[in-house]
Amino acid sequence: MYGRNDLRASLATAESKPSPESFQGASYARFYKQDPQEAAAHAKTWLVRGQSMIVAYSEVEPGAEFVRSGQPDEYAIVLPEEGCAVEIESDGQTYPMEGRAVAFVPDGDSIVRVTGGGRMLRLFTTQSQDLVEQCSNAADYRTPDPNVAEFQPWPDPVGGRKVRIYSGSVPPEQGRFGRLYRGSTIMVNFGDGREGPRAADNLSPHHHDDFEQYSIALNGDYIHHLRWPWISDSNQWRDDDHERCAAPSVAVIPPPAIHTSQGIDQGLNRLIDAFCPPRLDFSMKPGWVLNAEDYPMPETARITEDAE
């Protein structure tokens, strides 16, 4: 049940599905307690994965480069704060990008060159096999989660595949949830966070039937509360999670766990949520996805939307 005044309470309810027969646990990565998986002269990078997506969190200085050769599908770049800046080279063109911003980079060859230091996220699907085994939690996904739907990319963008960059500083708007941007493979909710602890009597526990949520903590301190349903086989029951993760960290929240995240720091608590592929329920809310004109929904989804 969503908290008071939570706009997600207006989302369409998914069709009921058969009850799961087993459950996957959540996976947590606390970058502040781990050595980076990649360390170079101008960058440190931590990698963590879920069933469908990889989060690469980097602390960068000018001069750092990130090269992708033969990238199998589109990936996302998030510069969460002002000051960090990059140049993205793709298909013979160079695109400047300054934080706060989100970019979607097409498949094939690309280079990201850092021109202003700070923090950067790159979000890949697990089709990027060269990155999968570098992830700190790779062992958690040796056996696929049966409750996560098979990954299917969404349609190519209007006008063909190219780098597209969007501002993360669009002002809030009454009736719109967050700042949602979607590509053909990934959706990002670019949030501002909130100052001070979240009230314990105004949390938003909810669940997803068949997709993961990647909650990326950039500032503050969080407790991720998770609860799994009981099923007939009590051997599959799981204890609740009340997992404390400060920033920077990632919580990979599996379906169908009931979950809510509670910021507890006295200062800024800030998450960026990501989904792979994009969320259909968010996409079907008029005006919620800020770049919807560039990235169409699947044909089946448009038929459903027209019928409502």
Where along the chain do its domains lie?
19-290
Distances (CA, A) of 53 to 128, 141, 169, 252, 284: 9, 11, 25, 10, 22
**8 A C-beta contact, residue 84 and residue 99:** yes
In this prediction, residue 304 carries a pLDDT of: 52
In this prediction, residue 234 carries a pLDDT of: 93
What is the Cα–Cα distance from 9 to 3, expressed in whole angstroms? 8
Task: Report, as ranges of residue numbers, the positions in the chain whose pLDDT lies below 70.
Answer: 1-6, 8-10, 12-19, 301-308
Residue 46 carries which DSSP code?
E
What is the Cα–Cα distance from 120 to 55, expressed in whole angstroms? 10
Nearest to 51 by CA among 133, 122, 140: 140
In this prediction, residue 22 carries a pLDDT of: 85
In this prediction, residue 196 carries a pLDDT of: 98
Nearest to 206 by CA among 72, 13, 26: 13
Displacement of CA 75 from its chain's centroid (Å) = 11
**8 A C-beta contact, residue 83 and residue 122:** no
In this prediction, residue 250 carries a pLDDT of: 98
In this prediction, residue 167 carries a pLDDT of: 96
In this prediction, residue 18 carries a pLDDT of: 62
Class of domain 19-290: mainly beta
**Helix, strand, or coil (residue 120):** strand
In this prediction, residue 218 carries a pLDDT of: 98
pLDDT digits (tens, 9 = 90+) for 113-152: 999 999 999 999 999 999 999 999 999 999 999 999 999 9
